[in-house]
Amino acid sequence: MELLRIEHEDFILTVESTRFEPIWQKGVANLGKEKLTSTYRWSEGVKSVTFEERPISQGMETEPAVFFEQTDYSVWVDFANGKVTEACFDSPRKDVNERFSWKKGKQVLTGFVNYQNEVGRADMPIRYTIDGVQKRFVFSYDVISAKLDYHSDWKKILADIEAEYRMLSLDYLKRTYHGIKEEQGESYDIIWWNIFEGLQSQFVQACHNIIDRPRHRLRTIDTYKRADQIRHFTPQLEQEFAEHRSEEARLYRMEEQQNTYNTPENRFLKHALLTVQKRYSALASRVLALDKNIADSKKALISATRDELNRLSHHPFFRTVGPYEGLKQESLVLQRDVNYSKIYRTFAILQKSFSLNDGLYRMETKDIATLYEIWCFIQVEKVVKELTGITPEQIDRTELSGLFTYSLGKGEHSKIIFKKEDITLAELVYNPRHDDKHDDIKGIGDMESKTVPQKPDIVLQLTKDDLQESMKLTYLFDAKYRLEKDGANDVPPDDAINQMHRYRDAIYFSSKNSDERLKKEVIGGYILFPGQMDELSRFRKSVDEVNIGAFPMRPGDDQHELLSKFIKDLLHKHAVEIVEQVIPQKGTTLEVKNRVLIGVVKADNPQYANFLSGTATLYYSGDTFPTTIPLDGMDYFAPYIPDKGIRDLYLVTGIHTSNQAKGAENDKLRITFDLKFSRSMFSDYKIVPLPIQHTFSDTSLERLQ
């Protein structure tokens, strides 16, 4: 179906799509028709622009959107007058231009565009030659999302990411761009490159104009001449000449006015040009290395600009201009002269930083799927930070990637640790890679996969001490910028849920320091997706039933509440309770070791000193042992030191009876416990009641904690 029609004085441009109606209806269902709008702008020569035969006004923010992400569009440019000798799509990206073909005989330029997940402003640039004159037409519009509100949600995602990780949102050679404005701060390479790209022609032309007709000023210099070379005698010179008339070779000192180009303004020009030339040459070399991504016309322009800046910086004019020493006072020349002011203003802009707010300058951003993934990681961090009340240590977790863009570090490079009094409560990791390489720093500790590598987006590990010392419970989250409809409800795609099952089955715990068997590592896996969901959704219920499910994550609404409540519940639960709820394998019974026997250890006990130092290996009962305490399933022993209380916890490795305890003088039957030190539960001893004959207590780890 024909969506858009542009009637130009030289051609008729039409845009068609067979998938527009489904994506439009999806957007209406998710966001409402009033949010599916775009602003259109175009070059001169346009007679009319219509959307489905309805006129569109230039610059209006309420016009219906035509271009959506992940949608194919066919573009036809028909030059009906037959005078065009050449036409092409004039994008900086080589792969985009290659999707268009020029049929000279039919006078038609045809091709297709698909913006994938790149949301933002976009241009449709058409370059053509008619009657020997080269022309360029640009049609500008918004590429919007059918899942998130482009006018608020997308910009909120950008703002949240930039507030946490400066410049992480930016990218280069994307199909769409975003407006930015000046602010104080560091001028990053990507900002410098993008800004200068739009100012380079003005800067180079201003340099040429100044060198051709530079500003100069008169200065007074002392010269020495013979009398016959002096044209005008001052009274002082006349008197001196009268005194030395007989000395024909005598030189007389006099002052002359001479033009000089060594002015503060020209010294600033030299400094600005050399600085720009040096940085541009370095960045151009990196950009030109992108043979497969950048268009030939773009490469030619970059090379020409680099060469021209090199020539200008070595111009003989600058031999008479000294080094720049700063401006001691304001210069009216730099502020008011047409050419000098362009140099001054351009250099000042290039020294500034920029923020992702609507402004005059263009900057490409990462695709929305990548931005959404990073944003979800930041939101999970904020939830844990709010629930624990702990601000993690501030570390720069970004890494330089590609040309001059940044990405969030993966694995150990992105780890965020929440500590309280040097005790780790939670750890958050972005995009780790798990395989069988133990030295892979992009993974996490003892987690690995024995088959193919696994790369979950977000890993949350909670540390619990009630079952084992520093036991880590692992939960995975995957951010998916996709959603489907299940009746009136939003749901994540089936393959995303299946991926959570795969993660839980494929990622194992493998201790590097022991010969222990592999153990399952992941307790649960959850999808974060840009939809809406309530407590009754089947994927929210499945979280409680099988620990696989989904949580909605969208800017600007209260849908974070479901995820916040879930993580809060995990933080407050004991490890015993969490592990007990894990579904066991069919045919096996999952038993959680949590029974604890507290028994008194007196000073006359041969193991007394060992219990104080945490090295005891044996505990034996007295002459009698309470019949109310069942020995079956006794997992731990906690020694009670009189007048002190309990502190340490031992694993019970064996229980048996013996006629004589080690070091005892009688041979009465006793119950003997073989022990192995587990950990200190408390930093100091704590008094607890011993209800059974004031000697023993049968309790559990959960109650003890």
Tally the C-alpha atoms within 13 A of residue 349's C-alpha that lie toward its C-beta: 21
Q: Average pLDDT of 199-205? A: 91
- pLDDT at position 98: 92
pLDDT at 447 over 70: yes
Whether 663 shows a pLDDT value over 70: the answer reads no
**Whole-number Å distance between alpha carbons of 168 and 407:** 6
Mean pLDDT lowest among 316-325, 417-426, 587-596: 587-596
Q: Where are the beta strands (DSSP E) in 480-626?
A: 484-486, 489-491, 507-509, 519-520, 522-529, 548-552, 595-600, 618-620
Is the pLDDT score of 404 beyond 60? yes
Same domain for 300 and 247, yes or no, is no
In the predicted model, what is the mean pLDDT of residues 141-162? Answer: 91
pLDDT digits (tens, 9 = 90+) for 131-145: 899 999 999 999 999
Same structural domain for residues 342 and 383?
Answer: no
How many distinct structural domains can be found in the chain? 5
Residues 50, 103, single domain; the answer is yes
In sequence order, which ranges of 554-660 are alpha helices (DSSP H)?
A: 560-572, 575-580, 608-613
Q: 196 and 342 share a domain?
A: yes
Residue 342, pLDDT > 60, answer yes
Both 287 and 433 in one domain: the answer is no
CATH of the domain at 614: 2.30.130
The answer to whether residue 543 is domain-embedded is yes
| Cβ 600 vs Cβ 625: under 8 Å | no
pLDDT at 514: 59
Q: Is residue 184 part of a domain?
A: no
pLDDT more than 90, % of the chain: 39
Domain stop point among 548, 580, 612: 580
What digits encode the pLDDT tens for the residues 526-553? 999 998 888 888 898 899 899 999 999 9
Task: Please say if the pLDDT value at position 664 is more than 60.
Answer: no
Percentage of the chain beyond pLDDT 70 is 92
Confidence band of 122 (pLDDT split at 50, 70, 90): very high
The residue range of the domain holding 429 is 368-580
Say yes or no to pLDDT of 16 above 90: yes
322, 255: one domain: no
CB 96 within 8 A of CB 112: no
**Bigger pLDDT: 620 or 514?**
620
In a domain, 700, yes or no: yes
Final residue of a structural domain among 580, 612, 642: 580
Please tell me the distance from the alpha carbon of residue 701 to that of residue 466, in angstroms, as a whole number: 6
Mean pLDDT of the chain: 86
Residue 512 reports pLDDT greater than 70: no
Does one domain contain both 209 and 223? Answer: no
pLDDT of res. 219: 59
Report pLDDT digits (tens) over 558-603.
Answer: 658 889 999 999 988 877 777 777 777 776 665 666 788 888 998 8
Of 422 and 87, more confident: 87
- DSSP letter (8 states) at residue 170: B
* Residues 537 and 553 reside in one and the same domain: yes
The yes-or-no verdict on residue 109 having pLDDT over 90 is yes
Region 233-252 average pLDDT: 79
> Same domain for 410 and 549?
yes
Q: Residue 374: pLDDT band by 50, 70, 90 thresholds?
A: very high
Is pTM beyond 0.85 here?
A: no
Q: Name the band, by pLDDT with cuts 50, 70 and 90, for residue 485.
A: confident
**140 and 72, same structural domain?**
yes
Cβ-proximal residues to 462 (8 Å cutoff; 6+ apart), any chain: 425, 426, 472, 473, 475, 570, 571
pLDDT reading at 395 higher than 90: no
Residue 88 confidence (pLDDT): 95
End of a domain among 320, 351, 382? 351
The encoded tokens of residue 519 equal: 């153990």
